[in-house]
Structure 1
């Protein structure tokens, strides 16, 4: 996804520096899987867009 298609307020990464994957592989701060976190920098814009759509639908990222 080109920057012109990304909402202005959306950061490149959903990371909120609250990393926790206690009982499963989902980060409680951003909603990404451990694999998505590890591979974020090498993911395509389209792959990142798909993750953003999913985590927003699930109520992430959780910022304080």
Structure 2
């Protein structure tokens, strides 16, 4: 089964915090990635998903 289809539409876990840097502590996306998510192609989103999953995101309690 295609992993992309099993994922939510967005990595957002409603734990939004970019207080100390440009990366959200909840989803692992940069401020620019969050802002542009709805405009990204499926391929661009896949690149982000691959990176954030490798880094241990999304996180609900951080």
TM > 0.5:
yes
1:48: which partner in 2?
Answer: 45
After superposing on structure 2, the runs of 4+ consecutive aligned residues of structure 1 that deviate more than 2 Å are: none
**C-alpha RMSD of the superposition:** 1.4
Normalised by the length of structure 2, the TM-score is 0.88
How many residues are aligned here?
Answer: 60
Normalised by the length of structure 1, the TM-score is 0.86
Q: What are structure 1's unaligned runs of at least 5 residues?
A: none
Q: What are structure 2's unaligned runs of at least 5 residues?
A: none
